[in-house]
Amino acid sequence: MDATSIALRPDVRDYALLGGRYTVDGWLEQGAVAATLVLAEAQRRAGVSGPAVEIGVHHGLYFLLLALVSEGGLAIDVFEDQHLNVDGSGKGDRAIFERHLARLHPSPEAVRIERADSLATSGEELDAWLEGRAPRLFSVDGGHTSRHAQHDLELATEIGSETSVIIVDDFENPAWPGVGVGVERFFGGDDRGFRPLALGDNKLYVVHESHLATYGEAIGNAAAACGALRERIELFGHPVQRIDFADPLDVLDAEARSTLARDPDNASGRFAPDARHVARLETGWSDVEPSGVWSQAETARLGILMIGDGARETAAHFRLHAFCPKETEPLDVDVSIEGDRLATWRFDDPESCDRTLRIPAKLTEAGQWQSLEFSIQNPRSPRELGLSDDDRTLGIALEAFHLVDGDG
């Protein structure tokens, strides 16, 4: 994906790459996010548009991603009618889902929500709910019995177009053998020209045979580029690519990564990827280079976001180096958060080093961005020292950074 990719659209970026999805309960593997972004990007490049549909939205974790990369959406769940959830494969909560939708989707009014049992729902009803628009993405994640899986896949192919991508959850999950049985029965009957495309990260991706080459090339190239392409297998008599993406960032090329780290509005980027912390570059940083990102002002700020309940002590681990040419004065850096100084670092050589910073719980608050501020006391430029024509005022260069709970 390049710097114009769908993954870097602000709403998609914030949810898929900047940690928004970590604030929604549910089950969604990193690799499934990556694969979905790749396929949505392939659709964008091909001019494919349309709404997203999911049967079985739970709290909206995967549906929100689908809806953000699509044009509106249809969310179907039994919600409070849990007596219809015969296998207990999830407990959707409409109130929670609607709160997440209002908070994380820029146009929640573009999403239609239906409380319905998919087994009692026809293709005509879905088509009416969608106002005749064929879905570009359709997630089958409702009841996990063989009957549900087969029926819901039939619904998806009935209302889908040749450009649609259908995603079946838990196809290989041993806890839900009915899904695999239902999918096998579907492909043993009238499959309407749909074929399995790829398998991995708890999802089976299904597309129409007319677009196997287009979508297969997109997912195969993206997986191969980051070492996520595994063996080709045969499934229901069709060749299928097994994929295993490690992280959504893996699908971005160098240009897109740089764009992510140097947002034109606030230079926000994502450094510490995990389920409880997110970090971003804010102000005072230069362009991202292979060796890291340089501070280029007397003050540089790194934003951190705690995800979860309540404030907690955190350890920030840095791998960095400083602009300290030989025979120059040491470089001193004060590190503070919200006005409270946490440390003063001194650098007297340009070699990479590790530093750890303990951030007290009183200075963090879950769900709120806080700014780590680096005040470089004596920055200088290579031009000033006669070393090159680079006139940036350089201080420290971040190579890697991550956060852990506790004192680390």
Task: Kindly report, residue by residue over 123-153, the tens digit of the pLDDT.
Answer: 999 999 999 999 999 999 999 999 999 999 9
Task: Kindly report, residue by residue over 311-344, the tens digit of the pLDDT.
Answer: 778 888 888 999 998 878 899 999 999 889 999 9
Report yes or no: 104 and 52 within 8 Å, Cβ to Cβ: no
The residue from 219, 250, 281 where one domain ends is 250
Residues 241 and 270 in one domain: no
Q: Is 274 contained in some domain?
A: yes
Q: Are strands 331-337 and 369-376 parallel, antiparallel or unpaired?
A: antiparallel
Confidence category of residue 267, pLDDT binned at 50, 70, 90: very low
End-to-end Cα spacing for the chain: 35
Confidence category of residue 194, pLDDT binned at 50, 70, 90: very high
The CATH number of the domain holding residue 194 is 3.40.50.150
Question: pLDDT exceeding 70 applies to what percent of the chain?
Answer: 89
Residues 81 and 204 in one domain: yes
CA distances to 15, 57, 90 from 26, in Å: 14, 9, 9
Half-sphere exposure of 325 (CA within 13 A, CB side): 12
Residues 74 and 205 in one domain: yes
Residues 56 and 103 in one domain: yes
Q: Is 98 contained in some domain?
A: yes
Q: Is 260 contained in some domain?
A: no
The residue from 250, 276, 301 where one domain ends is 250
Tell me the two tokens of residue 130.
């969608």
Domain that holds residue 295: 265-405
The CATH number of the domain holding residue 342 is 2.60.120.260
Query: Cα–Cα distance between 376 and 282 in angstroms, integer?
Result: 16
The residue from 217, 250, 283 where one domain ends is 250
pTM: 0.71
Which residue type sits at 79? F
Which single residue is written with the structure tokens 């209302």? 159
Which residue type sits at 22? Y
Residues 56 and 142 in one domain: yes
The strand pairing partners of 199, in sequence order, are 204, 242
Can you tell me the mean pLDDT for 161-169?
A: 98
Q: Is 85 contained in some domain?
A: yes
Residues 49 and 162 in one domain: yes
Question: pLDDT exceeding 90 applies to what percent of the chain?
Answer: 62
